Amino acid sequence: MTRSGFIRPPTVVLALLCGMYFLLFVNRTNLAIAAPLLQSDLKLSNTDLGLAFSAFGIPYALFQLFGGFIGDRFGPRWTLTVSVFLVFVATAWTGAVGGFMSLFFARILLGIGEGAAFPTATRAMSAWTPRARWGFAQGITHTFSRVGNAATALIVGQMILLLTWRGAFYWLAPINLIWGAVWFWYFRDDPASHPSIRPDDLTALPQRARGGKGPIPWMRLARCIAPVTCVDFCYGWFLTLFQTWIPNFFVQNYGLNLNRTALFTAGVLFAGIIGDTLGGVLSDWIFHRTGNLSLARRSVIILGFVGAAIFTVPVIFVHDLTIAALCLSLAFLFAELIVGPIWAVPMDIAPRYAGTASGMMNFGFGMSSILMPWFFGRMIDLTGTWTVPFTVSIALLVLGAVLAYFMRPDKPFTDDDVPAAAVAAAPQARAA
């Protein structure tokens, strides 16, 4: 608490970002919960539905690059405000869709809004969070995104029963405007300009992460981030599976109604909350104990991939609802260990360009969010079984574990302007 009795601004900023992650994942996941009814009303095949899910990923992938650049150039205050406004419009539009094409373009707009948000949020964290807590900050914000995932299954499921699936989208949309107004009123791009900031807060924050309006060395930065992008593609494939097809998996394989589907989906997704928090805390703990940044990031990421692969295997071979739900929950828990450390890696490598670097990394997730939903839907329609798409997902988890070894968070990106600041990153974090 500050002398005036209020929570310190860095804590408030982190809390606001947690709220944004919650809301954006509610808006991203709500279509999956409404999908069984929407699919029936709009006469969509599994391939059609997969394409609608994939539509989100097309601009999302592109805006990982341009959105990160915009966040670095114009600052998180304006960028996140505009992003969330676009999410509001897209969510309301989804409630009004009349067929495949209107649904496709509503999801395109949602991908534009959310595409710039996460790399820009990383930019905000890099300025407002002490470096030794970057893993925790990424873990806790993504924990709230998984709370959003899980809560969507319960909240939207009940809203659909009370309001129809169209009404659920209409009622969810305005909540985004409230967050945007609070963010624009409270946040400042430079922590030093915040009216409630204290000198001891500023001392703890990473000075080098502020400012930086010069030209961005795109190609050199992309080469440094490329291994992380590939790892993020493998993780993103698995996460997108849970955000799109899991409700339909329970409906089509086990004949569950809407209430039971929402309950089982929420149970699976709530497991990710544990993984998100634990992954970030564990990564920071290893770094604090060993001073080895590569070990702190890579070991947790590899553990997540391997554990997720192991627990996905029984879902293919055992047709039992309880076993499937339990194994999917454990697989998702392990997969979510990856989130905190992998989002901290771009901050480790390029703190001065945190928005752009994290956007380059999450371009991998964007590509997987384009390919995976369509691939799943197409394979289900062609084969009449979920075995093939699940097997491919397991293979990508194993590949992600192998590729994670090639990430080098211990080698900070340098440019002609600030080589000394970047090279000093690791010692500063150990001192913190």
Question: What is the spatial distance between Cα 115 and Cα 132, in angstroms, rounded to a whole number?
Answer: 27
Q: CB of 66 within 8 A of CB of 279?
A: no
Tell me whether residue 2 is in a domain. no
Residues spanned by the domain of 343? 9-189+217-411+418-431
Residue 199 lies in a domain: no
Dist CA 140 CA 131 (whole Å):
15
Domain harbouring 82, CATH code: 1.20.1250.20
Overall domain count for the chain: 1
In this structure, are residues 183 and 12 in contact, taking their beta carbons and an 8 Å threshold?
no
Count of CA atoms in the C-beta half-sphere (13 A) of 199: 0
Residue 195, domain member (yes or no): no
DSSP state of 96: T
**How big is the CA angle at 77 (ends 73 and 80), to the nearest 5 degrees?**
90
Residue 327 lies in a domain: yes
Q: Which structure tokens are listed for 23?
A: 């809301």
The length of the chain is 432
201 contact partners, CB below 8 Å, separation of at least 6: 8, 9, 10, 191
User: 207 in a domain, yes or no?
Assistant: no
Q: For residue 90, is it within any domain? A: yes
Q: What's the pLDDT at 64? A: 76
pLDDT at residue 214, as a whole number: 60
194 in a domain, yes or no? no
**Local mean pLDDT, 10-residue blocks, the chain (432 residues):** 61 94 91 87 88 88 78 88 95 93 94 88 86 77 82 85 91 94 94 87 68 68 91 93 85 81 82 83 89 92 96 91 92 92 87 80 88 87 88 96 92 60 39 36
**Looking at the domain assignment, is residue 320 inside a domain?**
yes
CA distance 169 to 91: 6
Give the number of other CB atoms < 10 A from CB of residue 274.
16
